[in-house]
A = this chain, B = another copy of it.
Amino acid sequence: MKNLVGAALLGQSGGPTSVINSSAAGVFIEALKQENITAVYGAVHGIKGVLNEDFYDIGQEDLEELMRLKHTPSSAIGSVRFKLKDPKKDPSEYERLLEVFKKYNIRYFFYNGGNDSMDTCNKISKFFKKSGYDCNVMGVPKTIDNDLNATDHSPGYASAAKYVATTFMELYHDATVYDTKQVTIVEVMGRNAGWLTAAAALAQYKGQGPDLIYLPEVPFDIEQFFSAVEENLNKKGKVIVAVSEGIKTKEGKYIPEMYQELKRDAFGHAQLGGTAQVLAEQIANRIDVKVRAIEFSLIQRSAAHLASKVDVEEAFNAGKKAVQAAVRGTTDKMVGFKRVSSNPYKMKYVLLPLKLAANTEQKVPLEWILPEGKGLTQDYVDYALPLIQGDAKAKLVDGLPQFAKLKKIRVAKK
């Protein structure tokens, strides 16, 4: 355990959430307090900012504005989807990172992201250790997908889940208003893990949710889907369906993939979207009924006006605790959450080895998923309800949220 003195750097990575900036606020505000931390930097667009020696000088920001980050959605210092090359095959990018870290005497590195980012973080940590460069590397979790391994949940999930549950309740009221038959298919984000789509079950729990919920954990049987829609339509005249963007047939095909070739991003992930639209078209071809496809799209991950207070506070504390742990000498760890009890909700912060979180996806337990799209068991409701409690949003000015506006002063290049 070494008492390191030097600069601290935060990078934000992957898709935005409502609370990734709350973690940034936690890291920045705590780091600015620490005597061993000589400067606090924000990497402009995550790891790309490090490679480019492109940093914001957080020490020049006002504390009040940093506090506003708690309620400002998305990634204030810029995020990135960028996969570093495998250091075993080509260490040049890692060598460049090391060079930059040395040049700016960065001794504390915090990376806020999902499992790809924790993998990056893990590799950087191992590379620095092997190179003999002392730097405490800490992961701060975030993902609306809630698929990070080894932690009870991840910041960002609860606020997105609260958005999904609330909006399904509102759509329930809207979509059931006429006396004509109608099918409404709503697409929720979630590539391989159905956590976010599962939040529709919270609206069901309130008696104002979808009739059918399909998660990617279970192979999607399109014939079962058609019969379930028809059965509900005959019984109630209205059907609301929640589908994850990532549902796949038992042959492993995404729904839009049955109709077009998929694009893939730098991580090799299929770029999805259009699942609800394709299903809606298929229903319209089969049944004479009004069908509507709705996509929550980017709205669901940045709806900070509907953030969960539990989520905002936990995200902030995760950032803060990452700094405190690093200053105490911890490295190579991610701040995680361990649930003590659900009712009353008690949770403790834990430090998990980075490699535990890296790249392994935590999915919704199969035993929580009811067959034939019927929803989730009470276990899921008990798990999720404590997370979405409380309101925490930006102060309103002109009736609209007052989001943080950072000065964004660049650190002079050395």
Are the C-beta atoms of A305 and B170 separated by less than 8 Å?
yes
Identical copies of this chain, number: 2
* Interface flag for A366 (CB, 8 Å): no
* Interface flag for A301 (CB, 8 Å): yes
* Interface flag for A304 (CB, 8 Å): yes
Are the C-beta atoms of B298 and A297 separated by less than 8 Å?
no
Identify which of B175, B176, B390, B405 contacts A399 (C-beta below 8 A): B390
Cα separation A391 to B354 with both chains bound (whole Å): 42
- Min Cβ gap A72→B in Å is 7
Identify which of B76, B79, B167, B171 contacts A178 (C-beta below 8 A): B79
* Interface flag for A412 (CB, 8 Å): no
Q: Of A28-36, A99-107, A201-209, which binds chain B? A: A201-209
List the B side residues contacting A297 at CB < 8 Å: 292, 294-295
Given the known interface contacts A294-B298, A295-B295, the answer about A170 and B308 at a Cβ–Cβ threshold of 8 Å is: no
Are the C-beta atoms of A171 and B399 separated by less than 8 Å?
no
* Interface flag for A177 (CB, 8 Å): yes
Cα separation A301 to B405 with both chains bound (whole Å): 30
- Min Cβ gap A406→B in Å is 12
Are the C-beta atoms of B292 and A400 separated by less than 8 Å?
no
Are the C-beta atoms of A174 and B401 separated by less than 8 Å?
no
CB-contacts of A53-109 with B (<8 A) = 72-76, 78-81
CB-contacts of A277-333 with B (<8 A) = 292, 294-299, 301-306, 308
* Interface flag for A389 (CB, 8 Å): yes
Are the C-beta atoms of A174 and B302 separated by less than 8 Å?
yes
Cα separation A67 to B191 with both chains bound (whole Å): 41
Identify which of B203, B294, B302 contacts A173 (C-beta below 8 A): B302
Are the C-beta atoms of A74 and B173 separated by less than 8 Å?
yes
Given the known interface contacts A72-B173, A170-B299, the answer about A403 and B16 at a Cβ–Cβ threshold of 8 Å is: no
Given the known interface contacts A81-B178, A179-B45, A179-B78, the answer about A294 and B299 at a Cβ–Cβ threshold of 8 Å is: yes
List the B side residues contacting A173 at CB < 8 Å: 16, 72-74, 76, 302, 403
List the B side residues contacting A45 at CB < 8 Å: 178-179
* Interface flag for A162 (CB, 8 Å): yes
Given the known interface contacts A170-B305, A295-B294, A305-B306, the answer about A177 and B75 at a Cβ–Cβ threshold of 8 Å is: yes
Identify which of B81, B208, B396, B405 contacts A403 (C-beta below 8 A): B208
How many A residues touch the partner, as a band?
35 or more
CB-contacts of A13-29 with B (<8 A) = 16
List the B side residues contacting A206 at CB < 8 Å: 398, 400
List the B side residues contacting A179 at CB < 8 Å: 44-45, 48, 78, 80
* Interface flag for A272 (CB, 8 Å): no
* Interface flag for A357 (CB, 8 Å): no
Are the C-beta atoms of B299 and A169 separated by less than 8 Å?
no
* Interface flag for A166 (CB, 8 Å): yes
Given the known interface contacts A297-B292, A299-B171, the answer about A177 and B79 at a Cβ–Cβ threshold of 8 Å is: yes
| A residues in contact (CB < 8 Å) with B | 16, 44-45, 48, 72-76, 78-81, 162, 165-167, 169-171, 173-179, 184, 202-203, 205-208, 292, 294-299, 301-306, 308, 385, 388-391, 396, 398-401, 403, 405
- Would you give 9 A-B contacts (Cβ < 8 Å), ordered by A? A73-B174, A74-B173, A76-B173, A78-B178, A167-B299, A167-B303, A170-B303, A292-B298, A388-B400
A74-B174, A74-B177 are known; give 4 further A-B pairs, CB within 8 A. A166-B400, A166-B401, A171-B298, A206-B398
